[in-house]
């Protein structure tokens, strides 16, 4: 550029691009604060927090894993609400701990979270053990109505999910099953900070655990990465399209948004969204649409210092969504 035209190169376009992103982000986070308040109320979190008590811990002997002798599985009961004592676990390597932590939220399936320690080949891919073997400290819990953590006093014809009596009873008190499980996860996170000194952690979950992770990340900022497997979709094409477990239903949830709107509330966390190509419950085309909407929200926000291509990752695998360890590690480690 010659000297005569040197001053002609200054343009206003960049300034207005900056303003657009700055005020969009400001409006997004201001609006998210209100949505968080509304979401917390719809889940019944306000009632649970009011009823909450200081965690009363009952330690049990460690679970001995003959097939993984270098892994320590600490077991304990956590009373976090009056007469609500949940099974919880700390899964750590005795040899190669990295100091990084994961809060794992288990999903539907026979055996509950304890299934992760004893049976191989399940859809959850024994994630707590797999991550512990790679040096992560993994903290997890039995979600209410999963495994043996169920209601015994319930008459039925045998054709029902244990989630049914939990979810329907809670609704009479203005609480949801999803809200209760998010509250469980929150109390485990509090405990791992207080007892184990965890400062940074990711959350990860599949199926019903994916729902918990989605809601947890939408409500709280302290986890900096979130792995949502086998849930990113649209309400209309998934839980509204077939007979689905009642624990997925949250009254008036559309006043907060659809699934991708709630996932976008995780910003600016790193996200790894996983979907199954042949998943009959969460159809892949709707999962792709959900992913595109979340990706668009992140891109519009222009999260400083993090390229959106690396913030939101997806791993679409044949069959049901499966936790991909290498993909999870990639998403977790990327700064």
Q: Is 65 left (phi over 0), alpha (psi -120 to 50) or beta?
A: beta
Greatest CA separation found in the chain? 89
Could you tell me if residue 12 is inside a domain? no
pTM (two decimals): 0.89
Could you tell me if residue 9 is inside a domain? no
Report pLDDT digits (tens) over 18-61. 766 666 677 888 899 999 999 999 999 999 999 999 999 999 99
Could you tell me if residue 219 is inside a domain? yes
More confident residue, 22 or 127: 127
Q: What pLDDT is recorded for position 308? A: 39
More confident residue, 154 or 121: 154
Q: What pLDDT is recorded for position 274? A: 85
Number of helices (H) and strands (E) in the chain: give both, helices first.
11, 9
More confident residue, 286 or 299: 286
Could you tell me if residue 39 is inside a domain? yes
- Residue 187 — pLDDT band, cuts 50, 70, 90? very high
CATH of the domain at 78: 3.40.50.1820
Residue 10 CA: distances (Å) to CA of 3, 5, 7, 135: 14, 10, 6, 52
Could you tell me if residue 314 is inside a domain? yes
Q: What pLDDT is recorded for position 21? A: 66
Model confidence at 17: pLDDT above 50: yes
Q: Which domain holds residue 289?
A: 18-333
Specify the range with the lowest mean pLDDT, choosing from 26-30, 221-225, 330-334: 330-334
More confident residue, 206 or 118: 206
Residue 18 CA: distances (Å) to CA of 8, 13, 25, 36, 82: 21, 9, 11, 26, 51
Sheet arrangement for strand 84-93: 56-63, 71-81, 84-93, 137-141, 101-105, 201-206, 225-229, 270-276, 312-317
Q: What pLDDT is recorded for position 23? A: 64
Model confidence at 327: pLDDT above 70: no
- Residue 75 — pLDDT band, cuts 50, 70, 90? very high
The string over 7-41, giving b where at least 16 C-beta atoms fall within 10 Å of a residue's C-beta and e elsewhere, is: eeeeeeeeeeeeeebeeebeebeeebeebbeebbe
**Which residues are within 8 A (CB) of 235 and not within 5 positions of it... i.e. 6 or more apart?**
253, 254, 258, 259
Model confidence at 321: pLDDT above 90: no
Q: What pLDDT is recorded for position 22? A: 67
Could you tell me if residue 60 is inside a domain? yes
How far is residue 98's CA from residue 159's CA, in Å, rounded to a whole number? Answer: 45
More confident residue, 306 or 193: 193
Measured in Å, how far apart are the chain's first and last C-alpha atoms?
Answer: 38
Q: What pLDDT is recorded for position 328? A: 56
Could you tell me if residue 240 is inside a domain? yes
Count of the separate structural domains present in the chain: 1
In 3D space, the residue among 135, 125, 148 whose CA is nearest the CA of residue 204 turns out to be 125
Could you tell me if residue 2 is inside a domain? no
């Amino acid at each position: 550029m010659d000297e005569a035209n040197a001053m002609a190169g200054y343009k206003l376009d960049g300034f207005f691009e900056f303003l657009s992103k700055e005020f969009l982000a400001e409006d997004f986070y201001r609006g998210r604060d209100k949505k968080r308040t509304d979401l917390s109320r719809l889940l019944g979190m306000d009632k649970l927090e009011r009823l909450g008590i200081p965690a009363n811990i009952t330690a049990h002997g460690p679970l001995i894993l003959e097939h993984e002798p270098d892994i320590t599985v600490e077991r304990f009961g956590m009373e976090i609400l009056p007469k609500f004592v949940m099974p919880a676990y700390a899964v750590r390597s005795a040899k190669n701990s990295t100091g990084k932590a994961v809060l794992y939220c288990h999903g539907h399936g026979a055996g509950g979270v304890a299934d992760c320690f004893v049976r191989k080949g399940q859809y959850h891919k024994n994630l707590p053990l797999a991550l512990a073997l790679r040096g992560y400290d993994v903290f997890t819990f039995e979600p209410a109505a999963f495994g043996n953590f169920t209601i015994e006093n319930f008459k039925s014809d045998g054709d029902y999910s244990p989630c049914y009596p939990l979810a329907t009873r809670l609704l009479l008190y203005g609480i949801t099953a999803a809200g209760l499980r998010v509250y469980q996860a929150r109390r485990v996170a509090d405990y791992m900070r207080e007892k184990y000194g965890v400062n940074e952690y990711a959350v990860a979950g599949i199926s019903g655990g994916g729902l918990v992770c989605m809601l947890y990340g939408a409500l709280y900022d302290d986890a900096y990465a979130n792995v949502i497997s086998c849930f990113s979709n649209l309400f209309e094409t998934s839980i509204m399209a077939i007979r689905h477990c009642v624990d997925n239903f949250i009254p008036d949830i559309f006043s907060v948004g659809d699934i991708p709107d709630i996932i976008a509330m995780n910003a600016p966390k790193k996200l790894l969204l996983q979907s199954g190509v042949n998943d009959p419950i969460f159809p892949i085309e709707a999962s792709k649409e959900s992913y595109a909407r979340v990706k668009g929200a992140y891109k519009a926000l222009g999260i400083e210092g993090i390229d959106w291509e690396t913030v939101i990752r997806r791993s679409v695998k044949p069959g049901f969504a499966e936790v991909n360890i290498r993909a999870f590690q990639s998403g977790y480690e990327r700064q």
